[in-house]
Amino acid sequence: MPSKDDEFNRSYDEAKYRCVEWLDRDPLEGIPPALLNSSHIYDYAEKVGLIFPFRREALKSSSYALRLGRFCQWWDESGDKVEKILGKDERLRVRRNSIVYVTTDETFLLPHYLAVRFNLHITLVHCGFLLGTGPLVDPGFCGQLLIPLHNLTNNDYEIKRGEEIIWVEFTKTSPIHGQAGGALANFQRFPDQKKNLEPHHYFGKALERVKRSSKAGILSSLGGVESDIKEFSRKTKEDVDEIKNWGLLALLALLFTVASILMSGYILVNGVKSDLSDSSRSIGELLRSVAVQPSQQEYNRLVLRVELLERELEQVKAKKEERQADP
């Protein structure tokens, strides 16, 4: 025996017929404008189409789960577009730090008094995925949603076709008819030309804007950052290797400089020792001369010689200090 779901969900054409019939008329006027709970979502799905295919098990207290559909599109690292059609139970691989555009498996059939907001399934949020917060789907929209899944992590993930990816909530708007029953004067209906569009139409304006600023497609900025970091690491390694080579040459130059300073010091010390040795010999000769009782003339000559030797010794000391002060 078919379930109640099957009774109002046998085909897309039947759901579309109910949507057209109740597009501008509310069959459940007793439900006030507000966020719909699960019971009211079910009632509207039964009356006006709302979602095809409809699954009772997808209901939550005030939301409804939508699944991953067939169409997927992304741009690889070189900026080339990649398009994929998933088969039944086939898995979509979402690379790390990338954006993938996917469609929902379900199709919306919204009347002009029901709006939709959606957000990412909490399981994918915990995995590190990101989705724009609460985009609005206007009343009157018909078609599948095209949504961007942004994998912010360093892990690749797989999502199977038919797996739940987003939660949607339905909000009933204020009445679209006046007290006399006619449509409000400034009420804007959803354009028919924007219903049931293929995914490629959604990319049109976006890609025109992207092409004005970049030759690549729609890529995650994190993927670019990762490439920049790898390039920076490569260049840094090359710079470190070059510094190591120059560092060895600098060390050799430093050792040569130190050796030159030590050699100059050795030569200076030897020169001072030689000067002091000569002075010592002169003083010894002087003392030996003094030991003999000299005449007055010899005494005067010795005094003069002592004075000369003292001045010579002062010069030697001054020369030594000058050499020590100049490294």
pLDDT (tens digit per residue) in 190-204: 999 999 998 888 777
Q: Is residue 64 part of a domain?
A: yes
**Domain co-membership, 164 together with 284:** no
**Domain co-membership, 195 together with 259:** no
Beta bridge partners of 214: none
304 or 210: which leads in pLDDT: 304
Which structural domain range is residue 22 located in? 4-177+186-219
Residue 83 has pLDDT above 80, yes or no: yes
Q: How far apart are CA 185 and CA 242, in angstroms?
A: 76
Most confident of 258-267, 269-278, 301-310: 301-310
**Domain co-membership, 45 together with 93:** yes
**Domain co-membership, 286 together with 204:** no
**Domain co-membership, 168 together with 259:** no
The CA-based dihedral angle spanning residues 104, 109, 115, 119, taken in that order and rounded to the nearest 10 degrees:
-10
**Domain co-membership, 156 together with 8:** yes
Residue 58 has pLDDT above 90, yes or no: yes
Which amino acid appears at position 98 of this protein? Answer: S
Domain count, the chain: 2
Q: How confident is the model at residue 304 (pLDDT cuts 50, 70, 90)?
A: confident
- 136 token code pair: 């609005």
Give the lowest-confidence range in 31-40, 101-110, 205-214, 282-291: 282-291
**Domain co-membership, 194 together with 128:** yes
For residue 236, the model assigns a pLDDT of 60
Residue 240 has pLDDT above 60, yes or no: no
**Domain co-membership, 203 together with 89:** yes
pTM: 0.63
Q: How confident is the model at residue 1 (pLDDT cuts 50, 70, 90)?
A: very low
The mean per-residue pLDDT over the stretch 245-260 comes to 68
Helical segments of the chain, H only: 4-7, 12-21, 38-48, 122-127, 199-213, 221-291, 296-325
- CATH code of the domain in which 59 resides: 2.70.40.10
